[in-house]
Structure 1
Amino acid sequence: MTRYLVLFGFLAMGFLPGASQCQQLNFTVTINSERARTQDRDIFEQMKSSFEQFLNGRTWTDDEYKPEERIKGNLLITINDMPQVGLFSATVQIQTVRPIYGSNYESLMLNFADRNWTFEYVESQPLEFNQFSFLNNITSLLAYYAYIAIGLDYDSFAPRGGDPYFETANNIVANAQQSSRPGWNQNPSDKRNRYWLANELYNSQVMVPVRDAYYLYHRKGLDLLTSKPEEGFENILQAIKMVEEANQVQPNSILTISFMDAKSDEISKLLKSAPDEIKEEAVEVLLKVDPNNARKYNDILKG
């Protein structure tokens, strides 16, 4: 299993591997219910508990994970409206991280805002999921992001290692389209939804360089910075160039934006320690692919 490539890194950080198989995710769910028009606050505690159990208590892959290998994530659900009892309108912010070899540092892998989620939930509701059919809009969304998170993690350890997980996420999208719920459809006016993210991760040849960049940036970049810093910085630069390559063909794609949303702060801090020639070349590319963060990238050159 490709994830075991980093086992020695975990040992170096003082982790002791467990002997038993466990689930793949370690997510914390936070429910912001300030806007919900209800006096029953207990339902949100139950919601948090049941969502976490669904994500963390299931086996999502056939691979064995040590407890310390579980993918850490945060899911912030903001309830925007409760038009009737049991019906909720919400936005979701999902973040996941990946440990870096030979260090205690965790790199932000996914930082994605899902702005249009509606669902029904009642107290003590069992959460059932079938990847081959649409059962409800709760488990479809939670499972979708579980597979996206796992797929990105595998992409960072092996070239396009996330293929089977992105395929499943893509199938969840196809099944959910029958529900006519927002976020699952090929909406040209909303290209930052679940459909487009899964489509660019699994179906788009134009976006393949971004997926390859996840591997180069993390496995050949960040994981080498403690042992081979020059090689690590060079590979980080090449990964940024690959993202720019895809952006030239398809500007402002959701996958390019998602990559930069997760990495812009990290890149701007890391590259301050890079050799001058890498700094200069990287800033030139970054200003093209992510001009909204120009000030942040120009600061790289100040050291």
Structure 2
Amino acid sequence: MIKKALLAGCILWAVVAQGQELDCTVAVNATQIQTNDRTIFPDMKKAIEQFMNTRKWTNDTYKNYERIACNILITITKMNSPTSFAASVQVQSARPVYNSNYSSLVFNFADRDWEFEYVESQPLEYNDNTFTNNLTSMLAVYAYLIIGIDYDTFSEMGGTPFFQQARQAVNNAQQSNRPGWDAMGSNRNRYWIVENLNNPQMNDLRKAVYAYHRLALDIFDKDPDKSREIILKGLKDIKKVRDVNPTAVLLTSFFDAKGKELVNIFSSGNLPVRREAYDVIQTLDPSSTRADYAKIIQN
């Protein structure tokens, strides 16, 4: 059985107007910053939460229980002025599994290239068609990615229009000349995660994400062996993606989210299936620090 796991840090946020898509919890860690006036940090947290949770990101109507659980941990690494900041950020989102109390982590991404301005008590503004400022552009990208990935888990390739919105936000923000918005430098920045999700070469991975969640996890309680076989097939399809682009950041992000869960899924059941899954996972994600994959073939 899959062990119950809740998305760390995500708690219920105050009820907002019905229809909003995100239930986002924000944490701002400014322990590295030396300043006498620290009121800006709780104000920043509140403003970002309000921006993510009260803005309407799609044309769909969500009931409160349908909103997407996510969190954003912002670690301020530098304060260049009272209104200018640099930060590293972890973004996570989770998706409930049908007929269970289990929430599956579906997106787990570290963005170390945040540079932005924030003025205390000043409203955050964003326009899909033009660049307004770096902070709201970065937040918009992750809002669209979180929503798109959630849609991909419920319908095959369902997140496409939201990934296209994220790409538009990236394109608009390139005029800022800030890090993370183009192909230069690290291949693990926000430019590349958006590029991967819009790249047809990644379609096998996106389709595998749908099968993993909708066709496997959602029936796991009824037929765990069938679910494992579906997930194994999806892993083989993901290997096709790796064969084409072994350094794709989307592969890394997938296993950042799914490594521990895969151990739980394949730590019981049919041994030949587990051994085959172990071999494929070791090829796709040879890291020994992400998850204890050896548990898959024990017993």
Taking structure 2 as the reference length, the TM-score comes to: 0.92
SS in 2 for 1:207: helix
Q: Match of 2:221, as an amino acid?
A: T
Equivalent in the alignment of 1:259: 254
Q: Which residue of 2 aligns with 1:297?
A: 293
Give the secondary structure class of the aligned counterpart of 1:287. helix
SS at match of 2:201: coil
Q: Distance in 2 between matches of 1:247 and 1:296?
A: 21
Contact 2:19-2:60 within 8 A present in 1 as well: no
- Report % sequence identity: 46
Aligned amino acid, residue 193 of structure 1 = N
1:8-60, CA deviations, whole angstroms, 9 ceiling, x for partnerless residues? Answer: xxxxxxxxxxxx84210001000000112321111111100000000001111
In the alignment, what sits opposite 1:139? 136
What residue in structure 2 maps to residue 127 of structure 1?
Answer: 124
Q: Could you say what the CA RMSD is over the residues aligned between the two structures, in angstroms?
A: 1.4
The aligned residue for residue 25 of structure 2 is 28
Q: Aligned residue for 1:224?
A: 219
> What is the 5 A alignment of 1:135-174?
135-174=132-171
Could you give the per-residue CA deviations for residues 211-267 of structure 1, whole angstroms, max 9, x where no partner exists?
Answer: 111101100111110122222111111111111110111102100110011000000
- Runs (5+) with no aligned partner, structure 1: 1-19
The answer on 1:94 being equivalent to 2:106 is no
Higher alpha-carbon deviation: 168-177 or 225-234: 225-234
Letter in 1 for 2:54: G
Within 5 A, what are the aligned runs for 1:20-59? Answer: 21-59=18-56
Q: Aligned partners of 2:165 and 2:186: how far apart in 1?
A: 22
Judge which range, 224-233 or 48-57, deviates more: 224-233
1:285 aligns with 2:293: no
- Mapped pair 1:72 → 2:78: no
Q: Which residue is equivalent to 2:178?
A: 181
1:17 alignment partner in structure 2: none
In structure 2, C-alpha distance between the alignment counterparts of 1:78 and 1:51, rounded to whole Å: 14
- Partners of 1:274 and 1:65 lie apart in 2 by 37
Q: Distance in 2 between matches of 1:21 and 1:91?
A: 32
The alpha-carbon deviation at position 161 of structure 1 amounts to 0.0
> What whole-Å deviation, never above 9, does each CA across 1:51-80 have from its counterpart, x for those lacking one?
000000111111111111100011000000
Residues of 2 paired with 1:278 and 1:153: CA distance?
Answer: 28
CA distance in 2, matches of 1:53, 1:191: 31
Aligned to 1:197: 193
Q: In 2, distance between residues paired with 1:98 and 1:298?
A: 26
Aligned to 1:8: none
**1:198 alignment partner AA:** V
1:124 CA drift (Å): 0.8
Q: How many angstroms apart in 2 are the aligned matches of 1:253 and 1:66? A: 35
Distance in 2 separating the partners of 1:80 and 1:194? 18
Partner in structure 1 of residue 3 of structure 2: none
The CA deviation string for residues 71-98 of structure 1, in whole angstroms up to 9 with x for no partner, is: 0011000000102221000010011000
Alignment partner, residue 5 of structure 2? none
Name the counterpart of 2:107: 110
Unaligned runs of 5+ in 2: 1-16
The alignment of Structure 1 onto Structure 2 pairs a total of residues equal to: 283
The answer as to whether partners of 1:37 and 1:81 remain within 8 angstroms in 2 is: no
